[in-house]
Amino acid sequence: MKIVRVILLAAVVVPGLGAQTDWSAYGHDPGGQRYSPLTQITTQNVSKLKLAWQFGIDPAAADINPATQVLPSTEAVPIVVGGVLYTPIAPSSILALESNTGREVWRHELGRARAPTRGVTYWAGDRTSAPRILAGTSDGRLIALDAKTGKLVPGFGKEGAIDLRVGVTEKFPDAPYRMSSPGVIYRNLIITGAAGKEGEPTGPAMDVRAWDLQSGKLVWTFHTIPHPGEAGYDTWPKDYWVTAGTPAHWGLATVDEPRGLIFLPIGQPAGDYYGGARKGQNLHSSSVVALDANTGKLRWHFQLTHHDVWDYDVTAAPALMDVVQNGKTIPVVVAVSKPGYMFFLERETGKSIYPVEERPMPQSDVPGEETSPTQPIPSKPPALARTGIKADEIFTGEPEHEKYCRDLVAKIGGIHNLGPYTPYSSKEVRIIFPGQQGGPNQGGVSIDPTLGYVFVNSRNLGGLGRLDKAPAGAQMDYSRVSPLGRGTLYARFSDQARGLPCQPTPWAELMAVSANTGDIVWRVPLGSMDVMEAKGVHNTGATGQGGSIVTAGGVLFIAGTIDKRFRAFESRTGKLLWETKLDAPGHSNPLTYMGPDNKQYVVIVSSGVNAFALE
């Protein structure tokens, strides 16, 4: 009798526990905290982590020079539910794997279409529907697969797929259009963004849409460029929305289920560096917006960069947490992006809990450009990235690289920078900090709610260039050019072939911010460059993309560096506890879960899936 009761109890409790120990969404939970309650791996034993299994590693990846930032085809964060790991594998597959062995459960081939870049979405289903995997493919479809079998769900859209291009790209048949990040779930809806061309203003509209999870029917649409009668319409030239594509919501959204709110990061307007044809504040570009998740109606907006001409798009998932001040608990959403500032915004209103100053900024000298007179700067926390550079701030400490940098500075006629939000000039080559890579970027933040800490990684990689009159026929009157060479890699203040920035270190940092005080609690360099280590220059930090996760075991995991390492830090102090080398940089976020064998696994995607566990 007693045994039966125990079994019954276990049957009731396990599903709840399972949810706790899975990684069922991109950001772990709908609010995107990326905090796991698992405690098997601790600060004491993390140094004993070993590779448990791998899947889909691309043998060609090891030969790629990560410094030139040849983009990987995958930046996936797999999903783990009930002992199964779901992930896209480049080029064209979606797979279900046993979470403790990496053995294939099912495989869905997409044909000519390529697999989603950042992962898939798990929907637990409801009374009438079995659990589903939803995935956005490179040809602009949203497909629904049965989570058990990997087969298309016939009742969803047309035979299991929605063509997202319909009603959007008819005027631009050659334009790329697809979901660049997994959609998010709110009750019976999946909410999707889009990505397409970024450099030029015309293109398919990048609106945000919500679809019924049962049928695939469109439920609501949010215009990233307001239409007539919508708030913010007057922040663009008249009728701008008719032909304009960007800004896009191409990053990850978060959901506050009890409040019925969805929070979206919105990217930059086009062109990236010249806004003469789009005078105005340009809402909702480079912003976080809060929508009523049931209707798509705008609740509030917070623009991080007004009239963006720096490519400072907001891409990181706005993460949810509670801040405690003067004994009062304030539900907030944490917004961070490339300019390097972090904002704690009240969830209901979008009002910052730390005062925000609209600070006067240097103005553009480029004909036709009207930069915003001010930009929002919070009183706290301080900037999380280098926001300027003085004329003599050139890297020293290793003669070969120092010489490269001094020669570079001579070639561009000296270092010209006016501090935060320095605009590009048509008269001189300027160096801009943060550059187009950030600062913080789509890796965003992880949060330990028990410590009240927000963890963020940030790179210091300057943009470099001058705005020159574009040739006749170009969509933009001015385009950014670099005297160092054509191509985006030359528009950086660095030795692009070796991935070494030209200003003093650190070149990337990992930081913990106390949400309750707004102070940076600790900061450490993130990454080290082998070529510098060999010459005795240690812990320079390494640029890259990707973010962190944190666990109740007190451990923070992060890759996100071009040094191809995967690391563990003590979340309370920032002490490095463990590192291992990967085949390729992990330009994504890790995840952790309990396997059916009661082992805690930590996974990072490099060119394929790498799973680590204690022996």
Partner 1 sequence: MVTMTLKMILVGAAAVALSWTVTASQQEALPDGPGKEAMERVCSACHELDIAAGTRHTRAEWRVLVESMVSRGARATDEEIAAINDYLGTYMAVVNVNKAAAPEIEAVLAIPKNVAEEIVRYRAEKGEFKDLESLKNVPGVDAKVLEERKDRVAFR
Give residues in contact with partner 1 (CB under 8 A): 60-61, 63-65, 68, 70-74, 90-91, 112, 114-115, 117, 138-140, 174-178, 180, 195-199, 410-414, 428-429, 479, 481, 483-490, 496-497
> Taking Cα atoms as reference points, which of 256, 236, 278 lies closest to residue 368?
278
Please state, in angstroms and rounded to a whole number, the distance separating the CA atoms of residues 554 and 35: 10
* Backbone phi, psi, residue 99, to 5°: -70, -15
Shortest separation between residue 135's beta carbon and partner 1, angstroms: 13
Task: Choose between 152 and 481: whose C-beta lies nearer to partner 1.
Answer: 481
Shortest separation between residue 29's beta carbon and partner 1, angstroms: 28
Please state, in angstroms and rounded to a whole number, the distance separating the CA atoms of residues 581 and 49: 12
Please state, in angstroms and rounded to a whole number, the distance separating the CA atoms of residues 262 and 36: 22
Question: Which residues in 219-247 are b (16+ Cβ under 10 Å) and which e?
Answer: bbebbbbbeeeeebbebbeeebbeebbbb
Shortest separation between residue 82's beta carbon and partner 1, angstroms: 28
Rg of the chain over Cα atoms, rounded to whole angstroms, equals 23
Shortest separation between residue 184's beta carbon and partner 1, angstroms: 20
Task: Choose between 359 and 427: whose C-beta lies nearer to partner 1.
Answer: 427
Task: Choose between 73 and 573: whose C-beta lies nearer to partner 1.
Answer: 73
Shortest separation between residue 487's beta carbon and partner 1, angstroms: 3
Shortest separation between residue 93's beta carbon and partner 1, angstroms: 12
Shortest separation between residue 187's beta carbon and partner 1, angstroms: 29
Please state, in angstroms and rounded to a whole number, the distance separating the CA atoms of residues 457 and 437: 12
Is it true that the peptide bond before 381 is cis, omega within 30 degrees of 0? Answer: yes
Task: Choose between 328 and 486: whose C-beta lies nearer to partner 1.
Answer: 486
Under 8 Å between Cβ of 549 and 78: no
CA angle, residues 78, 81, 82, in degrees to nearest 5? 140
Task: Choose between 63 and 392: whose C-beta lies nearer to partner 1.
Answer: 63
Query: Residue 552 pairs with which residues in a beta bridge?
Result: none
Shortest separation between residue 92's beta carbon and partner 1, angstroms: 9
Element housing 333 (H / E): strand 328-336
Shortest separation between residue 485's beta carbon and partner 1, angstroms: 6
Is it true that the peptide bond before 547 is cis, omega within 30 degrees of 0? Answer: no
Please give the structure tokens belonging to residue 527: 């990454």
Shortest separation between residue 366's beta carbon and partner 1, angstroms: 17
Task: Choose between 99 and 246: whose C-beta lies nearer to partner 1.
Answer: 246
Three-state SS letters, 503-517 = CCCCCEEEEEEECCC
534: Cα within 13 Å, side-chain hemisphere = 4
Task: Choose between 184 and 412: whose C-beta lies nearer to partner 1.
Answer: 412
Task: Choose between 1 and 71: whose C-beta lies nearer to partner 1.
Answer: 71
Shortest separation between residue 437's beta carbon and partner 1, angstroms: 14
Shortest separation between residue 233's beta carbon and partner 1, angstroms: 28
The DSSP call for residue 583 is: S
CA dihedral 584, 589, 594, 600 (to 10 degrees): 50
Sheet of 93-98, strands arranged across: 79-81, 84-89, 93-98, 104-109
Shortest separation between residue 586's beta carbon and partner 1, angstroms: 16
Please state, in angstroms and rounded to a whole number, the distance separating the CA atoms of residues 517 and 594: 33
Task: Choose between 181 and 422: whose C-beta lies nearer to partner 1.
Answer: 181
Task: Choose between 61 and 96: whose C-beta lies nearer to partner 1.
Answer: 61
What's at 396, amino acid-wise?
Answer: T
**C-beta atoms surrounding 209 within 10 Å:** 23
Task: Choose between 89 and 335: whose C-beta lies nearer to partner 1.
Answer: 89
Query: Residue 136 pairs with which residues in a beta bridge?
Result: 142
Task: Choose between 418 and 576: whose C-beta lies nearer to partner 1.
Answer: 418
Task: Choose between 101 and 488: whose C-beta lies nearer to partner 1.
Answer: 488
> Taking Cα atoms as reference points, which of 103, 95, 114, 149 lies closest to residue 611?
103
Under 8 Å between Cβ of 239 and 225: no
Under 8 Å between Cβ of 426 and 366: yes
Q: What is the DSSP string of 76-111?
A: ---EEETTEEEEEETTTEEEEEETTT--EEEEEE-T
Shortest separation between residue 118's beta carbon and partner 1, angstroms: 11
Please state, in angstroms and rounded to a whole number, the distance separating the CA atoms of residues 40 and 312: 39
Task: Choose between 100 and 496: whose C-beta lies nearer to partner 1.
Answer: 496
Please state, in angstroms and rounded to a whole number, the distance separating the CA atoms of residues 541 and 97: 34
First and final CA of the chain: distance in angstroms? Answer: 37
